[in-house]
Amino acid sequence: MTEKMKLLHLVRRGAKTFIQVQREKATGMLDFELKELENIFALLLLGGFAGIPSPPAPIAIELLPYLEREIVVLLARSDLSTDPIGALMGMLEID
């Protein structure tokens, strides 16, 4: 009887571990998909800079508030792109 209980406990623990791993994979995939959808959304609205036809201006202006985070990242990257070595040295605190 105790061997059956041990085996049952082991199977339950294995099933819980399997379920937890699958949940983590699913949330990781959803997070990746969300980031990609945000990138596509930004590319659709700001695609004129990359040579992609843009949506009509009134629609793009109405959707711009949803791009606040992407615009902040864009500005931070543009600041970093002017002097990447200087930014790296600043992070490493090298004078």
- pLDDT for res 14: 92
Residues 6 or more apart whose CB falls under 8 angstroms from that of 64 comprise 45, 71
For 2-55, what is each residue's pLDDT tens digit? 888 888 899 999 999 999 888 888 888 888 888 888 878 887 877 777 777 878
Burial (CB count <10 Å: 0-12, 13-18, 19+), residue 61? exposed
Q: Domain residues for 48?
A: 2-91
Q: Is the pLDDT of residue 90 over 90?
A: no
Phi/psi region, residue 93 (left: phi>0; alpha: psi -120 to 50; beta: rest), is left
> How many domains, in total, are found in the chain?
1
- pLDDT for res 13: 93
3-state secondary structure of 60: helix
- pLDDT for res 17: 92
